């Protein structure tokens, strides 16, 4: 395992880190005991960077227990900002209470990297950062960083606070961060922490057309796994497989090597829940893709970007102009698709997106009623016209 220093901080991270998100059941049901074995094996193989979040239910306890024997040798990152009912709260009171709660659940006296998980537009950055500084002065956190925030908010954090890292989705199939968040990291000297580096398994060569995910697995509705994006991801996986094979490496290893080759990336976070997948992924450390291979991938990405943009625009227009799919689940997925595409094309602001996400999530909880979905369709149509 190789290690990289997180700039502007006293932390050094294994270049491949292990995240605990899968314990939420997002990728199907997982067993805490088995995952604890994965965490311990990761440490034996050199992983020193572990990531969780206050709202990954049960994950902090499993992580804290698993690293008990070697706590001082690892960097524990966790996140704050999501309330129990799924709302956003970055008020100083919530940040401090969440930190105390995380310390208790992790069974430790300090968090190495405390990260803002999502944005809370109601709380000024200076107030949240003030709470982070107080926690640091009290020795409860060593450093702080940010995550899933709109680029303008990340810019504000990096320019005006002591935040040292930005967590972002980045894989050879999900490349949008290269246009916004990664350049911001380079400009401000912050470290980029990439997550979902195998694109939630899509780039491993083990997910094929027609793959059926179990009930409750978010990939059943995740836009990356639908139609155009899924097919594009499979083409990227095939190319990574072809390049990896020349070096005796797997598609997953080539996918992670590609992330590690992106300027500004300090660590690539992956989330396997089996020992086999873990060992495979860690085999990407020290494997560098050659300049010709990187260029070959860039050429493929340009073609994919073009065909994906055309596909998304066409699909967005079809969903907004036509009647919704009579199957409420399919209609719900179509509306999620439009929201994600609109955000990616910069057609809608984060605040408006959040306003529309609320009734959309509400519609799902109520069993996706046609009338509620039609309301969301109308809101989206109006917002995108404005």
Ligand X SMILES: NC(=O)c1ccc[n+]([C@@H]2O[C@H](COP(=O)([O-])OP(=O)(O)OC[C@H]3O[C@@H](n4cnc5c(N)ncnc54)[C@H](OP(=O)(O)O)[C@@H]3O)[C@@H](O)[C@H]2O)c1
Contact footprint for ligand X (CB under 6 A) = 19-22, 27, 51, 147-148, 167, 195-201, 204, 206, 252, 269-274, 277, 280-281
Closer to ligand X by CB, 273 or 383: give it: 273
Residue 59's closest CA among 97, 23, 110, 17? 23
Tokens for 248?
A: 């005796």
Strand, helix or coil for residue 149: coil
Closer to ligand X by CB, 118 or 337: give it: 118
In the complex, minimum distance from the CB of residue 130 to ligand X, in angstroms, rounded to a whole number: 23
Residue count of the chain, please give it.
386
Neighbours of 299 (CB within 10 A): 10
In the complex, minimum distance from the CB of residue 177 to ligand X, in angstroms, rounded to a whole number: 12
Tokens for 303?
A: 């073609």
Closer to ligand X by CB, 276 or 291: give it: 276
Closer to ligand X by CB, 29 or 187: give it: 29
Closer to ligand X by CB, 6 or 373: give it: 6
Closer to ligand X by CB, 21 or 332: give it: 21
Alpha carbon distances (Å) from 65 to 39, 60, 152, 195, 224? 10, 8, 37, 23, 33
In the complex, minimum distance from the CB of residue 277 to ligand X, in angstroms, rounded to a whole number: 4
Neighbours of 33 (CB within 10 A): 10
- DSSP E strand stretches across the chain: 3-5, 12-14, 16-19, 49-51, 75-80, 111-118, 141-148, 165-169, 191-195, 265-270
Tokens for 4?
A: 């990289």
In the complex, minimum distance from the CB of residue 213 to ligand X, in angstroms, rounded to a whole number: 9
Closer to ligand X by CB, 105 or 331: give it: 105
Let me know: does 149 contact 116? Beta carbons within 8 Å: yes
**Burial grade of 155 (CB within 10 A; 0-12, 13-18, 19 or more):** middle
In the complex, minimum distance from the CB of residue 338 to ligand X, in angstroms, rounded to a whole number: 21
Neighbours of 260 (CB within 10 A): 22
In the complex, minimum distance from the CB of residue 324 to ligand X, in angstroms, rounded to a whole number: 29
Closer to ligand X by CB, 255 or 320: give it: 255
127's CB contacts (< 8 A; 6+ apart) are 90, 91, 92
Residue whose pair of structure tokens reads 């989705």 in the numeric block? 169
């Amino acid at each position: 395992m190789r290690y990289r220093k997180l700039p502007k901080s006293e932390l050094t991270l294994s270049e491949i880190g292990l995240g605990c998100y899968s314990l939420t059941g997002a990728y199907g049901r997982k067993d805490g005991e088995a995952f604890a074995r994965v965490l311990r094996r990761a440490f034996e193989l050199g992983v020193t960077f572990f990531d969780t979040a206050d709202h990954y239910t049960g994950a902090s306890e499993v992580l804290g227990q698993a690293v008990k024997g070697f706590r001082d040798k690892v960097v524990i990152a966790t996140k704050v900002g999501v309330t129990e009912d799924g709302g956003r709260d970055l008020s100083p009171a919530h940040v401090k209470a969440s930190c105390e709660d995380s310390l208790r659940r992790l069974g430790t006296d300090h968090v190495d990297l405390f990260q803002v998980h999502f944005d809370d537009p109601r709380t000024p950055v200076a107030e949240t950062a003030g709470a982070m500084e107080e926690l640091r002065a009290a020795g409860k956190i060593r450093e702080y960083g940010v995550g899933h925030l709109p680029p303008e908010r990340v810019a504000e954090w990096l320019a005006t606070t002591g935040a040292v890292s930005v967590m972002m989705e980045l894989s050879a199939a999900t490349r949008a961060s290269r246009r916004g968040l990664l350049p911001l990291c380079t400009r401000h000297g912050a470290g980029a922490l990439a997550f979902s580096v195998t694109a939630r398994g899509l780039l491993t060569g083990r997910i094929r057309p027609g793959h059926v995910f179990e009930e409750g697995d978010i990939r059943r509705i995740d836009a990356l796994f639908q139609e155009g994006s899924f097919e594009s991801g499979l083409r990227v996986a095939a190319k990574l497989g072809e390049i990896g094979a020349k070096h005796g490496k797997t598609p997953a290893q080539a996918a992670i090597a590609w992330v590690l080759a992106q300027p500004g990336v300090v660590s690539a976070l992956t989330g396997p829940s089996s020992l086999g997948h873990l060992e495979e992924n860690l085999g990407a450390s020290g494997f560098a893709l050659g300049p010709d291979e990187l260029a070959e991938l860039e050429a493929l990405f340009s073609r994919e970007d073009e065909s994906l943009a055309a596909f998304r625009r066409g699909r967005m227009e079809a969903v907004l102009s036509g009647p919704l799919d009579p199957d409420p689940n399919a209609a719900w997925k179509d509306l999620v698709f439009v929201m994600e595409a609109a955000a990616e094309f910069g057609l809608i602001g984060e605040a408006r997106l959040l306003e529309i996400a609320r009734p959309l999530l509400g519609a799902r909880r109520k069993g996706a009623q046609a009338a509620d979905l039609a309301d969301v369709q109308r809101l989206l149509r109006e917002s995108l016209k404005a």
